[in-house]
Structure 1
Amino acid sequence: MLDAPTVSAPATETSPPPRTRWFSRLTWSDLSLLPLAFGVLLYVRQYANHLPLWLDEQMISRNLRDRGFGGLVGELANNQSAPLGWLWVQRALISVFGTDEYVLRLLPLLAAIGTLVVAWWAGRRWLGPVGAITLVTVVATSAAAIRYSAEVKQYSGDLFWTMLLLVAAMVLLEQPRPAIRSYVLWWSLAGLACLFSMGAMLATPVFAVVVVASALARAGWREAVRAAAPFLIWLALFAFHYLASLRHVVGSEFMATFWGRRGYPPVDAGPRQLAGWAWDRLEVLGRDPLGLLPPGQGAHYLEIASHLFWALFLLGCLAAAWHRRPFGALLAGVVVFAYVLAVAEVVPLYMRMAMWILPAVYVGIGFAADAGARLVAAAVRARRMPTAVRSPRALAGGLVGAAAVALVGVLVAPLAVAHADPPALVNTDERAAVRWMAGQHRPGDLTLVLSSSRHAVPWYADSLRPRREPKLWEMPAGGTCKFTDLSAAVDGYQRLLLIGYLKEGPAATTGNRLRADVGAIGTVVAEGPFGPSMIALVVELRPAAERGPTGCYELF
């Protein structure tokens, strides 16, 4: 009898784990992707306007174009300053892609978008949908972020690196006992940020103190030493940056003269004056860099909006501290330290010099809105709405959330429209005016350039040579000209080209006087169609014997 064939059991197949669809990982906080997309649209639209460079952009761009990587180490020309890392990346971009405005402004655009992305990630991690949407929306419609996303300046980088460093510190503080590599990574990030952002450099001491103090409170001196030891990484990068670049900025006589008393308290201010200055500073910061004054609104609106905004920030610091105590210290510490630096006359608390505090302020507003929404939601879930409404805690939380959302809602539309629309270029398009003048230029011409356009001409048309910069010298009654009249200045030339932006001040005075004087020495044969704020004249000169008297000018 034959045995029945043995049938082996089929091999068990291991079924692959089910694939997780990307949308299944979304949370309600990801509704903040909508204002993120809106913010990217605003930034890209501002970038796409392709506006000509203005004076500050022209001055830093001339350093970038005319110097190599080694030349950007040390003191920059035209009284400019920027982090060395930012300068080197910009130099690398124009080395590969050229000096068009799109290339020069690409890094600022990416930094602004990066700030939005980090804000979205922070909202997703720590905030509910209301807080996350509020946080991303205030960043998306930030007047400072929109403006500097399309300027050849490093200030959008201040927003990005400070926001990234703040969020990284919050992640570090969440860990029960961070590994030494976590501290090393954070200090390395702080060192990298030091090379790219002066604002992040100012915020680093605040974040570092909170991180080390938290380690000390949690596990004693040994843990605090572990947290502080990688500081040497940051110190090495800071020392390199200081020796290579920053030492030429610190104590700069030009910067001290330029900023003057702006952003600092009054000299010899007593306690009452100092308190008044600190209170008024909230409104000053509300105007710039926060940009809380929409078009068509007056000072009264700004006073209410700015103080409401700062009240929400204070409540947001308390809410962040409720979530995790060091979080509140991180947010409040940045603003307090900014006041300390201003009182010590180290860094003015004014305009773009105060942009490094904005990430902490925006995150605080997000926490304020989130706290209010959570309290209201808890009351609704408990079905104790009448009791909850009478509860001071729930009522205060609801008011905070409602105020934050209302403030954002009121400001979003006008700010978005105001800062996304390109300014009119009819009277200020130096790029078009200089290139038009370059097309008119021919051998035997002398070009006179007003001081307000002294950098626009060599940037957009360095071929306009020879060129001189005239400065009007007002003669006293009955006096004689110490320098030269216009007629003598143009001797030996066939034509005179006159170009410049009539900016308020000496440039406008000189320009208007020159416009009147050219009729005495020649005939205007061509005038650029750039409006009354831009002078662009081609003058056919008369023989010296036929010229009339003109004003007295000093030529540089």
Structure 2
Amino acid sequence: MHLSHTHHQLSKTLNKVLFSPQRLPWTIISFGILVRSVQYLYNRSLWNDEAALALNILNRSYVELLEPLDYDQGAPIGFLFIEKLATQLFGDSEYSLRLFPFLSAIISLFLFYRLAQRCLQPSTVWIALALFSSLHIIVYYATEVKQYSSDVAIAILSSLLFIDLSRVRLNPTQVITYSVLGATLIWFSHPIVFVLAGIALSQLVLALIGQRVTTILKLLIIYLVWAISFCILYTVTLQDLANQTDLFNSWESRGTFPNSIGDFSWFLTTFWEFFHKPLGFPDVFLGVTVFTFFLGCVSLIKTNSKLLLILVSPVIITFFAAYLKIYPFDGRLVLFLTPFFILLISEGVALIKYTKKNQIKIRTLILILLLVPPLGTATYLMIKPYEKQEIRPIIAYIKEHQQLNDIIYVYQRAEFQFKYYANKFGYQAEDYILGIDDLDKQDGQGISDKEWQRYTSDLDKLRGKQRVWIVFSHVRSWAQEKERVTTYLDTFGRQIDAFETKGSYVYLYNLT
């Protein structure tokens, strides 16, 4: 009896401490911080794209980072400079390279909480916060050497800074402050220009409707400063990035642009797919999520149409940019739009009231369908963190088992990862052979016959060698590249050792 009473008191205390209306948001934020921290501390190996950008950051000076990046990479100047500074202060480890994305992800949790409080009913804020804290793609990019995590943070920060711009009386000091803030943020995130453009247009429309001539003039001054900053940025770096045909062709081949201005089916498909990637909802729940999103739009049309205009404007501008083939609408590249979708989805849940028994059941069911998948995934990630292409254990295995005169041959897609880790394991450029590159530049569809002939000629140079380590990573499973190479080696050699990890592999061959 005493134990039962003690257990009841403990449960009651925990519920009050963790899940009371006042404490619940901070419990959710703490959960989000914990999930992201586990990913960061797990310290998975850099995968291909991370390594490619890391090599640019490590091997270039600040001035050289203003030039077009190697390996078809692109990133905002502000992001690159912060990354460079982090490596100078803390070394060239994965932890240093991922520090800024990680801190951006943590700060985003607090910024989003403030934005949700500003936009949603108090009873709904926790739903939005739970989604934002646990959606797996946001968690994943919190610890990737890419700018997508900071894109999200800057998009939320911009919304908080400028959401009431047309309502503020705007004294000269505020005009200067808002001008400088927007002009500066443009240098730290490429897609922030779509958020600023959306907010600017919506605020201008609201000021025009209110016939506030003085406010309109002050807004135009602010927007002019933003535009000048963007023009300078475009001249310095974006112009070169826009001219990278390989990067553009890569985007276009993935269907990130519509075929024409009148391609409405692309819009519908892409809009629907956004709820799957980057929002990450399972296919079976997409209908419910999209329905709840539109419920949120309906709710704001009734209660706060001005806020709806501000929240959807960045989405509309980004779609418009895709139709002009200026910016691809795809996955991680539009991750910065997720906060706006989450807010509208959460608002949709709020439209379903508690007044009737059936409505309570529907609301509960929708909450389960919305929250269980991301929260379940996030919880699982604390037990088994993300892995992608674990090349670091592969190189460690080679180092441990390598004999004198062994040859290391690095398959061309593993080049950037191997180059990043080579020095850490004591390898110099002359200690390994990089496979012939440009394997899928001919037709963009894997290895063509012409390219395969080039590659087999490269592999034939290894004939007669007694011990050759063949290192694979970032292989294309749909092309079965690894199997194709090893099958060819089996025709004139014998595999004598193998070691495989997530997304990376090494095979030791006797090719005599």
Displacement of 1:372 after TM fit?
4.3
Match for residue 416 of structure 1?
A: 378
Q: Deviations over 1:59-96 (max 9, x none)?
A: 11111111111111120000000111000000100111
Residue by residue over 1:336-366, the C-alpha shift from the partner in whole angstroms, topping out at 9 and shown as x without a partner, is 2233222232222221122222121122223
Q: Which has the larger radius of gyration?
A: 1
CA RMSD of aligned residues (A): 3.5
> 8 Å contact 1:448–1:470 — kept in the other structure?
no
Residue equivalent to 1:58 = 51
Q: Residue deviations 1:460-504, cap 9 Å, x none? A: 11525241315799989xxx999847555457x774332223542
**Distance change (3 Å), C-alpha of 1:124 and 1:469:** same
1:157 counterpart = 2:134: no
Asked whether the 8 Å contact 2:101–2:143 carries over to 1, the reply is yes
Deviates more, 1:467-476 or 1:44-53: 467-476
2:73 to 70, 74, 80: 80
Q: 2:103 aligns with which of 100, 105, 110?
A: 110
**Which range moves more in the overlay, 413-422 or 93-102?**
413-422
> Against the structure 1 CA distance between its residues 191 and 442, is the aligned structure 2 distance closer, same or farther, given a 3 Å change threshold?
farther
SS of the equivalent of 2:328 reads coil
Equivalent residue for 1:192?
184
Aligned twin of 1:545: none
Q: CA deviation at 1:439?
A: 4.6
**2:165 counterpart SS class:** helix
Q: Distance in 1 between matches of 2:383 and 2:259?
A: 40
Distance 1:210 1:179, change over 3 A: farther
> Given the alignment of the two structures, is residue 468 of structure 1 paired with residue 434 of structure 2, yes or no?
yes
CA distance, structure 1, for counterparts of residue 44 and residue 298 of structure 2: 42
Q: 1:267 aligns with which of 217, 234, 259?
A: 259
**SS of alignment partner, residue 78 of structure 1:** coil
**TM-score, L = length of structure 2:** 0.82
- 496, 501, 518: which one pairs with 2:468? 496
User: Partners in 2 of 1:329 and 1:481 — Cα distance?
Assistant: 55
Q: Give CA-to-partner distance per residue, 1:378-437, whole Å, 9 cap, x none.
A: xxxxxxx6xxx59xxxx98x7996576344333343332455554686x95211112332
For 1:295-338, what per-residue CA distance to the aligned partner results, in whole angstroms no more than 9, with x for missing partners?
Answer: xxxx4x1xxx3233233223323434555442110112222223
Output one character per residue of 1:250-270: Cα deviation in whole Å (capped at 9) or x when no partner.
142112211225344653585
1:195-214 map, 5 Å: 195-214=187-206
| Paired residue secondary structure (1:337) | helix
Distance 1:120 1:45 in 2: 21
Instruction: Give matches, 1:496-515, under 5 Å.
Output: 496-501=468-473, 502-504=475-477, 505=479, 507-515=481-489
Residue 437 of structure 1 is matched in structure 2 by 398
Matched, 1:234 2:226: yes
Q: Counterpart in 2 of 1:529? A: 499
Q: Residues 146 and 420 of structure 1 are in contact (CA less than 8 Å); yes or no, is this contact kept in structure 2?
A: no
SS in 2 for 1:138: helix
**In the TM superposition, what is the alpha-carbon distance from 1:53 to its structure 2 partner?**
0.7
The residue number in structure 1 matching 2:215 is 223
Distance 1:213 1:508, change over 3 A: same
Q: What stretches of structure 2 of length at least 5 have no aligned partner?
A: 1-15, 440-446
Structure 1 residue runs of 4+, over 6 Å off?
A: 471-476, 480-483
State the secondary structure of the residue aligned to 1:497.
Answer: strand
Mapped pair 1:354 → 2:354 = no
Displacement after TM superposition at 1:49 (Å): 1.8
Q: Percent identity, aligned pairs only? A: 19
Give the letter aligned to residue 482 of structure 2.
A
Q: Is the 8 A contact 1:134 1:408 kept in 2?
A: no
Query: Secondary structure of 1:290's partner?
Result: coil
Task: Return the TM-score normalized by structure 1.
Answer: 0.76
Moved more, 178-187 or 218-227: 178-187
- Rounded to whole Å, the distance in 2 between the matches of 1:97 and 1:482 is 40
> Structure 1: which 5+ runs fail to align?
1-22, 294-298, 377-384, 543-556
| Number of aligned residues | 478
Aligned AA for 1:365?
Answer: I
Which residue among 274, 285, 290 is the counterpart of 1:310? 290
1:138 aligns with 2:131: yes
CA–CA distance in structure 1, aligned partners of residues 400 and 411 of structure 2 = 19
Partners in 1 of 2:241 and 2:298 — Cα distance? 37
Q: Equivalent residue for 1:552?
A: none
Deviations 1:436-473 (A, max 9, x none): 32455566443311122111211111525241315799
The answer to whether the Cα contact below 8 Å between 1:319 and 1:367 also exists between their aligned partners in 2 is yes
How far apart in 1 are the matches of 2:308 and 2:503? 49
Alignment partner, residue 19 of structure 1: none
Alpha-carbon distance in structure 1 between the residues aligned to 2:492 and 2:382? 40
Question: Measured at CA, do residues 535 and 328 of structure 1 come closer, stay the same or move farther in structure 2, by a change above 3 Å?
Answer: closer
**Cα 1:83/1:534, change in 2 over 3 Å:** closer
- For 1:109 and 1:266, locate their aligned partners in 2 and report how far apart those are by CA, in whole Å: 33
Of residues 122, 139, 147, the one that matches 2:140 is 147
Task: Report if the CA contact (8 A) 1:342-1:349 is conserved.
Answer: yes
